[in-house]
Amino acid sequence: MRRIKTKPKPEIIEDVHHPLERYFRKERLPHIWCSGCGLGTAMACLAYALEELSLGLDDVSIVSGIGCTGRLAGYMRSDSYHTTHGRAIPFATGLRIALEMQKPDHKVIVFSGDGDLFAIGGNHFIHAARRNVDLAVFCVNNFNYGMTGGQVGPTTPLGAYGTTAPYGSFENPFNLVYLAASSGAPYVARWTTLHSRRLKQAMMEAIMKPGFTFVEIISPCPVNYGRRNKMPTGLVEMRYYQRKSVIRNFADPKEAEIKPEGEIIVGTFVDEDKPNYFDIYRHFVEQMIGEG
Amino acid sequence: MILAGEHFLNGDVACAEGAIAAGCRFFAGYPITPQSEIAERMAYRLPRIGAHFLQMEDELASMAAVLGAVWGGVKAMTATSGPGFSLMMENIGLGIMTETPCVVVNVQRGGPSTGLPTATSQGDMMQARWGTHGNHEIIAYAPSSPQEMFDLTVKAFNTAERYRLPVLIMADEIVGHMMERVLIDPDKIEVFARRKPTVPYEEYVPYKPGKDLVPEMACAGEGYRVHVTGLTHNELGYPDMTVEAQHRLINRLTQKIRKNIDQIVEFEEEGIDEAEVILVTYGINARASWRAMELAREKGIKVGMLRLITVWPFPSEPIAKLATQVKGFVVPEINLGQMVLEVERAAAGRTVVRLVPHAGGGIHRPEDVLAVIEEVVG
């Protein structure tokens, strides 16, 4: 008879505090993510970024869509919104615009996965980048649909395996940084969860920069993606990203396509100043009021 | 800020003005006929009062943006027609589940699919009730004039805040486009403010209901650090995927409407005490039916009218009572039989229920309604 392994319950040690614990809903931990997943690292980077920016829990809202990354909002102890599949960005757009009328310094961060933001939510992404509303969008890209069991998605590299691509993916993936840059985002970066210090720095820059900012976070998903693509553990998948990633700041995003066996270019791709949605709105409204 | 006085407006514009009078400060929408005048009026008016109009990339985004804006602390609305209403269903469900007060206007046009973009219909009445997946209750108003487009939009905002859910306005192309006198008296407009928590953060339980089963609502940045999710959740707002949590939550979301049904349901009566036949009408079909009632009365038939103002929840009890005293109900609808099913359910075989169908694109000829009245009285 096969033995069923149960996950050991973590021991809670009273009176020992993690320096970041105020950022999390401790009562909801442990989280649901698999061992070897990069989401814990990504969430920790966000908490470190908020701490370093001295942003309090009432200064930020986190909005997620659906999927593994979608659960992140539920662990952060700020106002947090777990919305519908693909609609995190339009929800966040409404939220941010409403806050502009009352608390204009409030930061809205969208944290969601590659399937959520670029398949079902792809249209919202490009329009939000074009519109340039003040949102920081962090996409955890693990190259597949993890929550539903490892189906291929819009970022799966050509030929990679998934439960809906048993012979390898037949489709060309999106190059997310190129898509973001060409849609008009004034800040675009890509890091892996291995680059945690640089990832935190990129999150800080993205949060503070006015307008629509985008950070792609390449993350291991050993249970659903790695396992089917010769990277059976988180460690093996992280080693792969370590071996393949090359830091090249301000590289042409068009050249940053992720190909099977090719290198993964990481770094800041775009960091430019341009008027955001609110700047333009104020300009036109002031002009209109001036004209009476 | 409120457009006061006596005006000659079409229903769409009156609806936009009603929203502003009710405190709407955010509108997100996508162009679609025949609601366009609502969006256009909002685009003109909102920036002038420090508010925001946003044209989104589609109706999915419009509905999501409205919910986001509400959690950002303002009152918000969207308006659409036919195909756009179908696309909004997903996030109307999120609004119901997360108890997000907002207003959704559907200026109905002929369907299914692209159908009749510029002509009337009442084909979405059941979609309004059951369009989004899962078990739920909904509140929907059916205006039958530009004046009611104004009044019921104000009311819809108040009802939405009071019971914390998306409230629907089921208008139609004719009411949206017809121009009539609209009287706006700002002194008579009552606005229901959002129900905010008064306890400190440590004591606030986001989904702990009050006596009327409705919880108080803390929005972003107000210090309450609320987690909001479309997943089944407990009173803390945290996901809880158990049979018990589903039972508690879905029952409360249903009961908060059912238990308050007497406060929510509204209808207008005309001569029903003496009537042998009662016309059950709503929206634009009430206007043609009114003429049919006059024609029948000229012929000596005792006809009354019960005009639904809230179509959902449906006033089953009054209909059930009237069923025992009349020869029949006549239900004209610009569809092939939707609300008539509710009338039949409430009448429960105690009297005759006859539909006067119309496939859409126009309204009934009063003579067609009269013919059915005459059939019922024999």
Give me the number of domains chain A comprises: 1
Give me the number of domains chain B comprises: 2
Tell whether A121 lies on the interface with B, counting CB pairs under 8 A: no
In a domain, A4, yes or no: no
Nearest to A232 by CA among A243, A221, A241: A221
| pLDDT value of position A11 | 72
* CB neighbourhood size of B80 (10 A): 25
pTM recorded for the entire structure = 0.97
Q: Which portions of chain B are predicted below pLDDT 50?
A: none
The predicted-structure confidence for B191-211, as pLDDT tens digits, reads as follows 999 999 999 999 999 999 999
Tell whether A249 lies on the interface with B, counting CB pairs under 8 A: no
In a domain, A21, yes or no: no
How far apart (Å, rounded) are the C-alpha atoms in residues A143 and A133? 27
| pLDDT value of position A255 | 97
A110: distance to nearest CA of chain B, Å?
A: 12
By Cβ distance, the residue of A82, A89, A98 closest to B69 is A98
| pLDDT value of position A10 | 67
Tell whether A209 lies on the interface with B, counting CB pairs under 8 A: no
CB contact under 8 A, B220 and A99: yes
Domain that holds residue A117: 27-291
**CATH assignment at residue B371:** 3.40.50.920
| pLDDT value of position A3 | 64
- Chain B positions touching A96 (Cβ under 8 A) are 68, 72
Residue A290 has pLDDT above 90, yes or no: no
Domain that holds residue B351: 268-377
How far apart (Å, rounded) are the C-alpha atoms in residues A63 and B249? 23
Tell whether A87 lies on the interface with B, counting CB pairs under 8 A: yes
* Residue A224 burial class via C-beta count within 10 angstroms: exposed 0-12, middle 13-18, buried 19 and up: buried
In a domain, B232, yes or no: no
CB contact under 8 A, B47 and A91: no
> Which of residues B167, B188, B209 is at a domain's end?
B188
Which residues lie below 8 Å from residue B172, measured CB to CB, with a gap of 6+?
A: B107, B108, B109, B120, B121, B122, B283, B284, B334
The mean-pLDDT minimum among A222-226, A284-288, B183-187 falls in A284-288
The predicted-structure confidence for A62-104, as pLDDT tens digits, reads as follows 999 999 999 999 999 999 999 999 999 999 999 999 999 999 9
Tokens representing residue A26 in the block: 């401790």
**B89: nearest CA partner in chain A:** A84
In a domain, B347, yes or no: yes
CB contact under 8 A, A91 and B74: no
> Which of residues B146, B170, B188 is at a domain's end?
B188
**CATH assignment at residue A246:** 3.40.50.970
In chain A, the percentage of residues whose pLDDT exceeds 90 is 90
CB contact under 8 A, B70 and A284: no
The predicted-structure confidence for A2-38, as pLDDT tens digits, reads as follows 666 666 676 767 788 888 999 999 999 999 999 999 9
By Cβ distance, the residue of A79, A92, A101 closest to B50 is A101
In a domain, B330, yes or no: yes
The predicted-structure confidence for B48-70, as pLDDT tens digits, reads as follows 999 999 999 999 999 999 999 99
One domain for residues B151 and B36: yes
B324: distance to nearest CA of chain A, Å?
A: 47
How far apart (Å, rounded) are the C-alpha atoms in residues B350 and B338? 19
In a domain, A261, yes or no: yes
Tell whether A28 lies on the interface with B, counting CB pairs under 8 A: yes
In a domain, B210, yes or no: no
| pLDDT value of position B355 | 98
Angle, nearest 10°, between helix axes B285-298 and B366-377? 50
